[in-house]
Amino acid sequence: MIILGIDPGTGRTGWGVISSTPLQKIKQKITYVAHGCIVTTQIDVMERRLHILHDNINELILLHKPECLIIEHIFFGRNVKTAISVSQARGVIMLSASLHGLPIFEYTPSTVKLSLVGSGKAEKKEVQQTVRRILHLNSRTLAFNGKKDKDFDDSADALAIAIHHVFKITSPAGIDVKPLKKKLKTKKAAVVKIKKKK
């Protein structure tokens, strides 16, 4: 199963793709596929930034062909302005997934941290280290602290939420995990290329 994890935002949206292969009834082999970050600039108006986000998510879905999309549940305790922009990004991402007929699952950051690290208040570095350990990759491959789009720590959160979903669906407790909405039978959306102004 190919899983696309998303850490939403209008400025930076982290994404991570993993594959899950059954080993036993309650065990899965989790393999790293790809990760990165969709970055938009504040110079652009909001509708253009959301359009760019929509196009990039479409491209990721067409490229990696995930079977589900996992997205971070928004925490309204944060700055109201930030919460609004993140909500806008979430809406666009969920629309992209729906257009491709993908089931959507969401989890809170604290739930993911508790699942991977053992504490809902774990620091980002702890989450990053755990993600590397689970995926059997070093800090060079998964930097999460560089200046390139691929190295932003948002992608670590995206990989983490995707890994958490695997843990949930393979839980020995038999937790019933349901998507936000039923899978829709729709045609794949066309990817519209946007030419940046020079």
Average pLDDT per run of 10 along the chain, which is 198 residues long?
A: 94 94 75 93 91 96 97 75 87 96 94 91 91 91 73 88 92 46 42 44
Indicate which residue of 72, 106, 153, 157 is catalytic. Answer: 72
Q: What pLDDT does 145 receive? A: 73
Residue carrying structure tokens 């939420």: 161
Rounded alpha-carbon distances, angstroms, from residue 23 to 11, 30, 32, 144: 38, 10, 16, 29
pLDDT value of residue 80: 73
Burial class (CB in 10 A: 0-12, 13-18, 19+), 152: buried
The pLDDT score that the predictor gives to residue 181 is 45
Token code pair at residue 79: 């700055």
Strand-pairing partners, residue 28, are: 22
- Give me the catalytic one of 7, 55, 153, 157: 7
The pTM assigned to this predicted structure is 0.82
Known catalytic residue at 55 = no
User: 176 catalytic, yes or no?
Assistant: no
157 flagged as catalytic? no
Active-site pick, 106, 153, 154, 157: 154
Query: Which residue type sits at 38?
Result: I
Phi then psi dihedrals of residue 25, to 5 deg: -60, -40
Superfamily of domain 2-169: Ribonuclease H-like superfamily/Ribonuclease H (3.30.420.10)
Spatial distance between the Cα atoms of 127 and 156, rounded to a whole number of angstroms? 8
What's the one-letter identity of residue 177? V
Which pLDDT score, from 0 to 100, does residue 174 have?
Answer: 37
- Dig out the tokens for 87 from the structure: 């909500």
What's the pLDDT score for residue 76?
63
**pLDDT at res. 192:** 40
pLDDT of 89: 94
**Tokens encoding 99:** 């257009």
Cα 24 from Cα 72, distance rounded (Å): 28
pLDDT at 25 (0 to 100): 60
Collect contacts of 135-142 with beta carbons under 8 A, ≥24 apart.
135/18, 135/30, 135/31, 135/32, 135/159, 135/163, 136/32, 137/32, 142/32, 142/35
Name the residue among 22, 19, 23, 27 with its Cα closest to residue 2: 19
